[in-house]
């Protein structure tokens, strides 16, 4: 028990002052139930479970070695967009080097 005066029957008494009298223990339990009910209403009651991987995504193709048509199309589209980005980056770099004055 703490040497300080505090109000019994509170969650603060239970946690901060480490009081384990019946009113403080009951207050702590009530607070826990209240927090659980709020979390349940907000949809954060437990740890988030990963969603099931879907066909037609690059992730599924790579992680599960799937070769269905949807997964192959997803991989193809990703590679095409990646190559376009790399090509554009190289063109920007070349244009920047051309426009830079010689040192």
In this predicted model, what pLDDT tens digit does every residue of 41-51 receive, in sequence order?
665 555 555 66
Higher-scoring residue by pLDDT: 44, 21: 21
User: For the stretch 16-42, what's the b/e string if a residue is b when 16 or more beta carbons lie within 10 angstroms of its beta carbon?
Assistant: ebebeeeebeebbeeeeeeeeeeeeee
Higher-scoring residue by pLDDT: 84, 29: 84
Model confidence, pTM: 0.45
């Amino acid at each position: 028990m703490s040497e300080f005066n505090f109000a019994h029957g509170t969650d603060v008494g239970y946690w901060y002052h480490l009081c384990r009298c019946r009113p403080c223990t009951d207050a702590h339990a009530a607070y826990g139930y209240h927090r659980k009910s709020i979390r349940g209403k907000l949809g954060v009651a437990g740890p988030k479970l990963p969603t099931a991987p879907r066909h037609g995504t690059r992730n599924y193709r790579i992680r599960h070695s799937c070769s269905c048509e949807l997964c192959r199309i997803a991989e193809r589209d990703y590679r095409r967009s990646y190559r376009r980005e790399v090509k554009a980056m190289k063109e920007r770099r070349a244009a920047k080097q051309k426009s830079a004055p010689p040192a």
